[in-house]
Amino acid sequence: MTEPDFLTTTRASYDTVAADYAAHFRDELAAKPLDLAMLTAFAGLVRGRVADVGCGHGHVTSRLHALGLDVFGVDLSPRMVALAGQAYPGLRFEEGTMTALDVPDDALGGLVALFSIIHVPDGELPHVFAEFHRVLAPGGHALLAFQVGEDEHLRRTEAFGHEIALDYHQRRPDRVAGLLGAAGLPVTARLLREPDADERVPRAYLLARKAS
C-alpha cells in the first residue's frame, strides 16, 4: 500500500531538522505553566498506559513519566526517535504513525498528541481520531494541542537553515471538538490561550474521553 504523501514529506522534514529542533525546543515546557497544567491534569485523570503520539525529541514523554505515568513515545521521524532515546534512555520510543498505531484495541488508558495533528490534512482527521478511539480503553482520555486559526493551511519550506516541505493546519477548536465527538471521543475540557512571546497564534488544548 502506497504511503500518503503527507506522511512521507513530514517524516523527511523532521529527519532533516531533528537535531536543531531538539536543541531549540529542549526546555520549551519550562516557561509554559498553562500547558504544564493541562499535562498535570491529564496525568491525574489517566489510569493505565499512555502513548505520546508525535513525541518528537521526547520532552513531553519525559514530563509525563515524571508525573507518574507509564508512558511511551511514538514518532514518524526515525531521527527524532533516535534523539529521544539518547536524551531519555530509560524511556521507550518507537517509530510509528498516528494513522495506524501499533497498539491493540482498547489497550491505552491515555493518549497525548501535542502539536502533531497540525500536519494531518483535513480529510485524514476522522480516520486519525477513529484510530485514537480504537486504541483507548473505555474511559480512557486523549489530550490534543494545536495552533488555532480559521482552518488555514500553510506550507513551510525552510527551518533552521534547512530546506523542508512541511504542511501546517491551523484549526478552530469547535471544529476539532466536533470531529473528536463524531469519533466517539467527546471533549470534556478545553484551554484556549493567547500566544506567548515566541508564538504567533493562539494555542488550544482539548481533553476528550472515550465512553466507559
- Dump pLDDT digits (tens) for 38-73: 999 999 999 999 999 999 999 999 999 999 999 999
CA atoms within 13 A on the CB side of 69: 31
Which range marks the domain in which residue 92 is found? 5-209
Q: Give the count of domains, the chain.
A: 1
- Taking only the tens place, the pLDDT of each residue in 86-112 is 999 999 999 999 999 999 999 999 999
How distant, in Å, are the alpha carbons of 32, 66, 75, 193 from that of 211? 30, 27, 27, 27
User: Residue 205 corresponds to which cell in the numbers above?
Assistant: 488544548
**What is the C-alpha radius of gyration for the chain, rounded to an integer number of angstroms?**
16
pLDDT of residue 1: 67
CATH number of the domain where residue 82 is located: 3.40.50.150
**Structure confidence at residue 171 (pLDDT):** 97
